[in-house]
Amino acid sequence: MSRVYNWQLGREMSYPYDGKYPERQFAFVFNINRCIACQSCTMACKSTWTFSKGQEHMWWANVETKPYGGYPQFWDVKILDLLNQTNPDGQRWTGSVSDNGKSPYGQFSGQTIFEAGEKTLQPQSARVLGYLPSDEEWNSPNIYEDNPVGKRGIRDKLHETGEQLPVHNTWFFYLARICNHCTYPACLGACPRKAIYKRPEDGIVLLDQSECRGYRKCVEACPYKKTMYRGNTRVSEKCVACYPRVEGTDPESEGQPMETRCMAACIGQIRMQGLVRLNSDGTWAEDRQHPLYYLVHVAKVALPLYPQFGTSPNGYYIPPRWVPREYLRQMFGPGVDRAIERYNNPDRELLAVLQLFRRSNRIIFRYEIKEGPLVYEGTYRGRPVRIYNDTVIAFGKNGKELFRTTVEEPLHVRPAKHQNSI
């Protein structure tokens, strides 16, 4: 194993290969506070990429109800449990959150899936701690998540008076997921045939099906369970990050990078995807006016999903603010409290950047804010609120403007029936 630097853990860690970092890295931010589980993202992916024979279990994009569900079922609980068995009570964070881009969440002092694998797995060729989900766990996305179960002992039939069955009388939220195009992909690290590779131009992780022999080592290793084995083709497959769109080679894109299908289809407008610049050690290069850099490294409202697994995932989430903090800290690391505090009390720049979500299908490479006058001052739930008429302008890869948003006071039009009533 090599030693590589993982900034999400604030330390070096073991990885089966040397660190190699792309020129730009595919990354995204999902604002979970707004996801309504409409599954438009899921279906956009399916209708584009996985609609053919054998497609039933291929959900490269999925949305699951937390804490009740997951796809495949129990994926996160199972890997967390395996790690805990390997390192009982040792999966902890130390240090404190800071503004240091090399360790913004302190240090993770527990074991990653690579380190736990090194410690426990035999033979040496098994490099990553993981497990293969059962067919039953893959079979039914979203089963029992939002809807009551059927009558005891009777399969495939809903209870006739379903309203009496248990529902979730407490908090829950929807977690939308795709492959994280990790900086240290576990799928890539585990593949004995080197069929999985990370593209040097955009960090997208692809699986070469002509090299794959269906050993399922990637399925076992990916802690997010985002590689899938298709029975009828006998090879594995995974999210391709809609690379023709990201490259700008999709006919619709006219040469300019476009966001992926699942991003563009998002009804809740929770998603923004981009390409970020990296330093030679895999940390993010400073790019102050890049919206993803701003959300992850300046405002720090967007956090990686289960950073403790160690793959340095490139999917970031603005955590749901109503969920118990202990749960969120386990899922997104120690940065949760700072992220929620800032998101609850957004400053002028954060409010402006939040306006960039889903205003265009083009990938935003830079934004600018032109400050305007104060248009509203008041309080909301005891907190002061100030809104300015700032204009936020988004620019594409070619440096040209994509769109701008401004704030306007509403125009009230007198309805026709009252037109002459004065």
- Residue appearing with tokens 């059927």: 150
Please tell me whether residue 13 adopts helix, strand or coil conformation.
strand
Which amino acid, one-letter code, is at 224? Y
The answer to the question of residue 51 lying near another protein (CB under 8 A) is: no
d(CA 359, CA 141): 30
Q: Using the rule CB under 6 A, which residue among 3, 20, 36, 341 binds ligand SF4?
A: 36
Q: Using the rule CB under 8 A, which residue among 8, 42, 62, 65 binds another protein?
A: 65
**Rounded (10°) CA dihedral 355, 361, 362, 366:** 10
d(CA 212, CA 194): 8
C-alpha 154: how far from its chain's center? 37
State both tokens at 2.
């090599």
Q: Using the rule CB under 8 A, which residue among 12, 51, 149, 193 binds another protein?
A: 149
State both tokens at 104.
């913004």
CB of 112 to ligand SF4, least distance (A): 12
CB of 280 to another protein, least distance (A): 35
The answer to the question of residue 146 lying near another protein (CB under 8 A) is: yes
Residue 255 has a CB neighbour count (10 Å cut-off) of 11
Which amino acid, one-letter code, is at 51? F
Q: Using the rule CB under 6 A, which residue among 6, 39, 86, 142 binds ligand SF4?
A: 39
* Residue 380: contacted member of another protein, ligand SF4, none (CB under 5 to 8 Å, by partner type): another protein
d(CA 301, CA 317): 8
* Residue 180: contacted member of ligand SF4, another protein, none (CB under 5 to 8 Å, by partner type): ligand SF4
**Cβ contact 394:360 at 8 Å:** yes
The answer to the question of residue 375 lying near another protein (CB under 8 A) is: yes
**Rounded (10°) CA dihedral 177, 327, 15, 95:** 140
State both tokens at 225.
């369970």
CB of 199 to another protein, least distance (A): 25
The answer to the question of residue 199 lying near ligand SF4 (CB under 6 A) is: no
d(CA 88, CA 90): 5
Per-residue contact flags (x/-) with another protein for residues 239 to 278, judged by CB under 8 A: ---------------x--------------x---------
Q: Name the site residues for ligand SF4 (rule: CB under 6 A).
A: 35-41, 44-45, 48-49, 60-61, 63, 174, 176, 178-182, 185-187, 205, 222, 224, 226-227, 238-242, 260-262, 265-268, 270, 311
Binding site for another protein (CB under 8 A): 33-34, 36-38, 65, 67-68, 73-74, 77-78, 143-144, 146, 148-150, 152-155, 165-174, 254, 269, 320-324, 354-355, 358-362, 375-376, 378, 380-381, 385, 387, 389, 400-413, 415, 418
